[in-house]
Amino acid sequence: MSSARTSAAPVVLGVGALSRADVVAVAREGAPVRLGEDALTAMAAGRDVIDALAADTVPHYGVSTGFGALASTSIPAERRVDLQRSLVRSHAAGSGPHVETEVVRALMLLRLSTLTTGHTGVRPVVGSTYAAMLDAHLSPVVHEYGSLGCSGDLAPLAHCALAATGEGEVVGPDGVQRPAAEALAAAGIDPLTLVEKEGLALINGTDGMLGMLVLALADLEELVSVADLAAAMTIEALRGTDAVFAADLQALRPHPGQAASAANLRSVLAGSSLVAHTGTSAFVRVQDAYSLRCSPQVHGAARDTMAHCATVADRELASAVDNPVITDDGRLESNGNFHGAPVAYALDFLAIPVADLASMSERRTDRMLDTARSHGLTPFLADDPGVDSGHMIAQYTQAGLVAELKRLAVPASVDSLPSSAMQEDHVSLGWSAGRKLRRAVDGLRQVLAIEILSAARALDLRERAGEPAPSAASAAVRAVLRTKVPGPGPDRYLAPEIAAAVDLVRDGQLLAAARATGALPH
At 125-175, the pLDDT tens digits run 999 999 999 999 999 999 999 888 887 899 999 999 999 999 999 999 999
Residues 6+ apart with CB under 8 A from 315: 342
Residues 6+ apart with CB under 8 A from 282: none
What is the per-residue pLDDT for 515?
98
What is the per-residue pLDDT for 252?
98
- Identify the band that residue 320 occupies on the pLDDT scale cut at 50, 70 and 90: very high
Say how many domains are in the chain. 2
Q: How far apart are CA 214 and CA 135, in angstroms?
A: 20
Could you say which of 61, 130, 145, 345 is catalytic?
A: 61
Q: In Å, what is the CA distance from 452 to each residue of 218, 232, 473, 497, 498?
A: 21, 10, 13, 12, 10
Clarify whether residues 187 and 277 are in a common domain.
Answer: no
Model pTM score: 0.95
Q: Is residue 108 part of a domain?
A: yes
Average pLDDT over the chain, rounded to an integer: 93
Clarify whether residues 278 and 397 are in a common domain.
Answer: yes
Mean pLDDT calculated for residue range 70-83: 78
User: Of 178, 205, 232, which residue constitutes the final position of a domain?
Assistant: 205
Give the residue from 140, 91, 130 showing the smallest Cα distance to 109. 130
Residue 493 annotated among the catalytic residues of the structure = no
Is residue 67 pLDDT above 70, yes or no? no
Q: Phi and psi (nearest 5°) for 98?
A: -75, 140
Clarify whether residues 152 and 187 are in a common domain.
Answer: yes
Report whether 114 contacts 198 (CB < 8 A): no
More confident residue, 82 or 77: 82
What is the per-residue pLDDT for 58?
79
Q: Is residue 2 part of a domain?
A: no
Q: Is residue 395 part of a domain?
A: yes
Clarify whether residues 264 and 313 are in a common domain.
Answer: yes
Report whether 205 contacts 431 (CB < 8 A): no
Clarify whether residues 418 and 275 are in a common domain.
Answer: yes
Crossing angle of the two packed helices 430-464 and 207-237, in degrees rounded to 10: 20
Region class of 130: left (phi > 0), else alpha (psi between -120 and 50), else beta: alpha
- Residue 262's CATH number: 1.20.200.10
Residues 6+ apart with CB under 8 A from 288: 235, 238, 240, 241, 244
Mean pLDDT calculated for residue range 258-282: 86
Clarify whether residues 223 and 85 are in a common domain.
Answer: no
- Residue 125's CATH number: 1.10.275.10
Reduced to 3 states, what is the DSSP secondary structure of residue 326?
strand
Clarify whether residues 110 and 239 are in a common domain.
Answer: no
Q: Is residue 360 part of a domain?
A: yes
At 350-360, the pLDDT tens digits run 999 999 999 99
Is residue 46 pLDDT above 80, yes or no? yes
What is the per-residue pLDDT for 154?
93
Q: Is residue 449 part of a domain?
A: yes
At 372-394, the pLDDT tens digits run 999 999 999 999 999 999 999 99
Residues 6+ apart with CB under 8 A from 149: 206, 209, 340, 343, 344, 413, 427, 428, 429, 430, 431, 432, 433
Q: How far apart are CA 102 and CA 92, in angstroms?
A: 19
Domain that holds residue 131: 11-205
Report whether 137 contacts 172 (CB < 8 A): yes
What is the per-residue pLDDT for 143?
97
- Identify the band that residue 71 occupies on the pLDDT scale cut at 50, 70 and 90: low
Give the number of other Cβ atoms within 10 Å of residue 479's Cβ.
Answer: 11
Is residue 424 pLDDT above 80, yes or no? no
Q: How far apart are CA 167 and CA 275, in angstroms?
A: 63
User: Of 205, 235, 252, which residue constitutes the final position of a domain?
Assistant: 205
What is the per-residue pLDDT for 69?
60
Q: How far apart are CA 311 and CA 206, in angstroms?
A: 16
More confident residue, 14 or 459: 459
